[in-house]
Structure 1
């Protein structure tokens, strides 16, 4: 499950910059009850990008911004409780790791779903059922 984290320069502490990806990946697995599942742990991939100074805009002005985007199979985030928990906890992670002032309303979380059967790993297109089997044996 690719996670793309885009941050403005200096938004996070140095230690926060190094740990933000693993913290958000942990939240993703935890809200789904999959923490420690080897199959799922291998599928959580991604990157952290620090945008150039002045390249992030909120309300048409350069401001601090944290944008967390995740692409997941369509069986993920099955109910409102899981959705809310993920968004709130990811926002909490940014708040905990920030280097200075950054209001919560400039942390955005977005989830995009893959079409069933188009979740590919190592050349294999997984269906939701295939993923369920991987999780069960994981």
Structure 2
């Protein structure tokens, strides 16, 4: 890895501007250690972001992450949030045969979006909700077996994170695909074929 370091602005959390020591390889983001990003106040303002798992770097506010866990505020205790994102991400990698892949693992990024209790609805009524939402290349979740296995596992992960206090019937899992050729990592726009080639090397 190149020795050059950058300070990058990561996120505003409850009014605190976080900066992190993000190590960048000279040729781009894909060889960089992961840095955590969450929408809630999971870390104090003096947190050591440079050693945190799961990655996000140079992401402006309001940008949708590949993994978004949308929950009614207070549903998942703060001490379970990081582990929940990790488990949801690990399940994705495992089911796609990518566990430990040196290209994909650092690029599995995610955040938790807390929504006020008076702003989440189901059946047109105020309801606590939990939604696991992925934005992925279009080759992800290619078979019914993988789809069904992930939905089952992700639902259990969120159910456990809520300490069993939130009904499974109010945990949803969905998926959106990115346009082929518009998967940007470290300034490079990857096609599905190029992503596959990069993954095969890892």
Larger Rg: 2
Segments of structure 2 that go 5 or more residues without pairing to the other structure are: 1-64
TM-score normalised over the length of structure 1: 0.92
TM-score normalised over the length of structure 2: 0.65
For residues 41-65 of structure 1, the C-alpha deviation after alignment (integer angstroms, 9 at most, x for no partner) is 1211121111112111111122110
After TM superposition, the structure 1 = structure 2 runs for residues 6-17 of structure 1, keeping only pairs within 5 Å, are 6-17=70-81
For residues 48-107 of structure 1, the C-alpha deviation after alignment (integer angstroms, 9 at most, x for no partner) is 111112111111122110011111111111111011111111001011111452111111
CA distance in 2 between partners of 1:33 and 1:117 (Å):
22
CA distance in 2 between partners of 1:4 and 1:116 (Å):
20
Partner residue of 1:80?
Answer: 144
Higher relative contact order (CA 8 A, sep 6+): 1
- Name the Cα RMSD after superposition: 1.4
Q: Give the number of equivalent residue pairs.
A: 138
- The equivalent position to 1:56 in structure 2, one of 109, 114, 120, is 120
Q: Which structure: greater helix fraction?
A: 1
Single out whichever of 93-102 and 25-34 deviates more from structure 2: 93-102
1:20 to 2:73 alignment:
no
1:37 to 2:101 alignment:
yes
Contact 1:10–1:99 under 8 Å retained in 2: no
